[in-house]
Amino acid sequence: MCAMKKAMLKSILVVDDDLDLLMLLERRLMNDGYLVETAASLPEAEEVLSTFIPRVVLLDINVRGEDGRQLCWKLKSGDQFRETKVIIISGYDYNTGRALLFGADDLLPKPFHMDFLLHRMAQMLEPVVENISINAEPRKIQEHPGASPLATS
């Protein structure tokens, strides 16, 4: 797979108004091979999204007093970003079900362990298996010599 296509498969937008966390996430994700764009506000995120189509958006729920769920809803209700995975991150005690109502694919409470985040993102980015052919004939179980068959009634 060419490097450009691989980078597109691991593209992420991180949206958070905590600049220290934003820089930490950017550095760690880039070191792990992600193509990373960042935004410290929702208008900045929308500007980035006009030229960048990420596979995952890591989105703080409260970005400079604005509700990140609104951006999640915009992404998921349009055609261009419908397949983009959105992980909402929040320092608040927040109900996962409420985040999912806005179309989020996951909710991650702050603080979180970086390895846990990377694991969750890797699961979301696993390639979709297409064209799986299933053998219609069941395989026979080989019996071991001397084994008694199972009783069926």
Domains of the chain: 15-61+79-117 (3.40.50.2300)
Q: Are 14 and 36 in contact (CB under 8 A)?
A: yes
Q: What angle is formed at CA 123 by the lines to CA 117 and CA 126, rounded to 5 degrees?
A: 135
Selected residue with higher pLDDT from 111 and 49: 49
pTM of the model: 0.75
> Strand 66-67 to strand 11-15: parallel, antiparallel, or no bridges (unpaired)?
unpaired
* CA separation, residue 77 to residues 39, 74, 114, 142 (Å): 21, 5, 29, 52
pLDDT digits (tens, 9 = 90+) for 107-117: 888 888 999 99
Instruction: Select from 67, 74, 59, 73 the least CA-distant residue to 106.
Output: 59
What average pLDDT does range 75-95 have in this prediction?
Answer: 86
Q: Are 12 and 35 in contact (CB under 8 A)?
A: yes
Q: Over 90: is that where the pLDDT of 20 sits?
A: yes
* pLDDT category of residue 127 using cuts at 50, 70 and 90: low
* pLDDT category of residue 142 using cuts at 50, 70 and 90: very low
Q: Can you give the pLDDT at residue 125?
A: 83
What average pLDDT does range 39-67 have in this prediction?
Answer: 95
Q: Can you give the pLDDT at residue 91?
A: 78
